[in-house]
Every structure is written in C-alpha cells, then in structure tokens.
Structure 1
Amino acid sequence: MKPTRDPGLQPERTRLAWRRTALALTVVAMLTVRLALTGGPSGAPLALLAVLGWAATVTLFWRRGTGGGRPGAGGRTLAVVGLGASGFALIGIVLVLHGV
C-alpha cells in the first residue's frame, strides 16, 4: 500500500507567495496609472499593459488558489509567468526612469 503524501505547509506557502506577487503587481499597476494620469498620454499604453498583466495574474492566482486551475497546462504556465515577470520588470524600469 502506497503511503499518502503529506503536503505539509507547502500549499499555504504557495498561496502566500501568490498573494505577495499580486500585492506587488497591484502597486506597480497603480503607479503606472498614476504616471498615465499625471505624465500625459505617453503613460496610457504602459498603464493599460500593467493593468491587463495585473488582471491576468490575479485571475491565475484566483484559479490556482481556489483549486479551479489545472496544475499542468501543457508547460505554458511557466513561459507565461516568465514573460509577465519580464514585462513587469521593464515597466518597473520605466517607472524608475520617470521618477515615480
């Protein structure tokens, strides 16, 4: 008889990591919206991308956090998360260069 796996605190750590990620992305998205509102129309596309990325990440977090997401999405999840992280890093650089 195969022993059942005891996940321990791993699911809780994963949920907390997703919450921290969502919080950090919320701050970045709000800073880009602030840049768009105070810095003219050049910040609007950046704010739109940040808000869309934030919404996609929160949706992914919600699905995974409530158990509705599939654990294996054909290997695309890692690539999508990596691309999103790179995008938010670029947005962060733009925000720093604009002094926000």
Structure 2
Amino acid sequence: MGDGHRPGARPRIPVPDRDPGLQPERTRLAWRRTTLTCSAVVALGERALLRSGAPGPVVVVLAALMGLVWAVFVAASDRRIRSMATGRPPELRRRLAWVLAGCTLVLAVLGAAVVPP
C-alpha cells in the first residue's frame, strides 16, 4: 500500500490536450455565428419596435436597452473569440457565462415585449 493509491480508487488517467487542429476553429466559427444571430435578432427587434406605434419615450428606452444588451453580448463574445486566437482557449469563466446567458434572456424578454400579439 505504499504506492499512494487508496484501495478501490481508480488510477488517474492523464487528460490529453485538446486537438490543436480544427476544434478551436469550429468553436470560433460557432461564436461568430452566435454573434451574427444576436445581431439579427436585435435588428429585427428594433424594426418591430419602431413599427409598433408605442409612445416615444418607451421606444427610446427599449431601443437603447436592446442596443446596450447587444453591445455587451458582442464585447463578451469577441473577448472569447480573441482568447481562442492563441490555440487552446482558457475555460469559459463563470462570470462571462452568466453575462452571456443574461444577455440572451434579456433579449428574449424584450423580443417578446416588442412583437405584437
């Protein structure tokens, strides 16, 4: 028992590095597609908002909020894309994941509020 292993414990298997080839490229492209989709959703939401006939201040506040959420999403995803430029990206930080999820949720709520029934 002097080998440092506990009885019944599984031996540690070394984790290989990620594929330095196409996997980071696919991930980077997925982030680009997601950013493009977010941009399209905001553009369509802004268009629907401007055509809704809502009072002026409401339109301005909702449009500004949609633009702000879009800018935060683009900045966060761009940060992630840039971190992958060196090859293996670092783990997605919990804070960044929450920011991206929050942006998606806010855009979904704003989209539901803007689309006419």
- Structure 2 length as normaliser, TM-score? 0.63
1:64 to 65, 69, 80: 80
- Residue number in structure 1 paired with 2:10: none
More displaced 10-residue stretch of structure 1: 73-82 or 44-53: 73-82
Aligned residue identity for 2:75? T
Residue matched to 2:95:
76
Segments of 4+ in structure 1 off by > 6 A? none
Aligned residue number for residue 95 of structure 1: 114
Are residues 4 and 46 of structure 1, via their aligned partners in 2, closer, same or farther at CA, if it must alter by over 3 Å? same
| Larger helix proportion of the pair | 1
Q: Which ranges in structure 1 are unaligned for 5 or more consecutive residues? A: none
Q: Contact (CA 8 Å) 2:72, 2:103: kept in 1 or not?
A: no
Q: Which of the two has higher C-alpha Rg?
A: 2
SS, match of residue 17 in structure 1: helix
Are 1:34 and 2:60 matched, yes or no? no
CA RMSD of aligned residues (A): 2.8
Consecutive unaligned residues of structure 2, counting only runs of 5 or more, are: 1-13
**Shift in alpha-carbon separation, 1:61–1:89, aligned structure 2, 3 A:** same
The count of residues paired between Structure 1 and Structure 2 equals 96
Amino acid at match of 2:46: V
Q: Distance in 1 between matches of 2:93 and 2:36?
A: 27
Which structure is richer in relative contact order (CA contacts within 8 A, separation 6 or more)? 2
